[in-house]
Amino acid sequence: MTSGIGYEFMRRTQYRHMGMSDQSRGLPQPPLQTEYDPTQPVVELPAPVDVIVASLDLREAIENRRSVRKYTKGPLSLPELSYLLWCTQGVKGGVSMPVTLRTVPSAGARHAFETYLLVNTVQGLTPGLYRFLAIEHKLVEINLESGLSDRMVAACGGQRMVKAGAVTFAWTVDSYRMTWRYGERGYRYMHLDAGHVCQNLYLAAESIDCGVCAIAAFDDEAANRLLGLDGEEQFVIYLATVGKKPA
């Protein structure tokens, strides 16, 4: 492989090309969480410590993990959703700099992701688009218009499980949160971090009788438009559907 976009990406993000980062220049770091409109309704989530799920051996969860594209019509409960959010982006604490320590690894603890949720059937939530506020462990309403699931299905090339599942996780990147420290090399780390997060979702879902299917085949521009992102500084990097497993 000596040509093409993929080759150029790997070549130009090699460690030797990092150069001086904005962090090393003494520039202030970006916020740990993307700001939101304070006039938008905020949904309280059950505290993770109060959510009780079935005990599941880690080896069993790993052995049972597989992609599930067909779901029952059963909804997720709000505590179950809270649990999945905590397992994938939950904040366990913070340290000086400041950075957040979370339930998934991230290069330099940059945690450049925001989690959007396209809700179909979650008890206590109106169907629509929400964003997870990881630091507060709450949801903020983004868009409750009808037809969002159909638009996301179209953005994902007709993958119907987006509409059949209870909820679709859409992980987005605030790119400067990562590149502030790592420059262009940070784009590699964003993709590595996406794998960490999605695997946690797969394993956590096993303990609440849910299936997950990761989605990397999507129209970037359409998905970004649906979530209201500019596609440059902030963009969708990965998606995954979640729903109750059929018997």
Side-chain-side CA neighbours of 245 within 13 Å: the count stands at 16
Query: Where does 31-124 show beta strands of DSSP type E?
Result: 42-44, 91-95, 99-102, 113-119
**Helices 78-89 + 186-206 axis angle, to 10:** 140
Compute, in degrees rounded to 10, the torsion defined by CA atoms 105, 106, 111, 115. Answer: -60
**Is residue 1 predicted with pLDDT exceeding 80?**
no
What is the rounded CA–CA span in Å between residue 241 and residue 239?
7
- The per-residue pLDDT for range 31-90, each reduced to its tens digit, is 999 999 999 999 999 999 999 998 999 999 999 999 999 999 999 999 999 999 999 999
User: Do the beta carbons of residue 169 and residue 199 sit within 8 Å?
Assistant: no
Global pTM? 0.96
Domains of the chain: 43-244 (3.40.109.10)
Q: For residue 121, how many other CB atoms are within 10 A of its CB? A: 18
- The per-residue pLDDT for range 120-171, each reduced to its tens digit, is 999 999 999 999 999 999 999 999 999 999 999 999 999 999 999 999 999 9
User: Hunting for tokens 């794998």 — which residue is that?
Assistant: 195
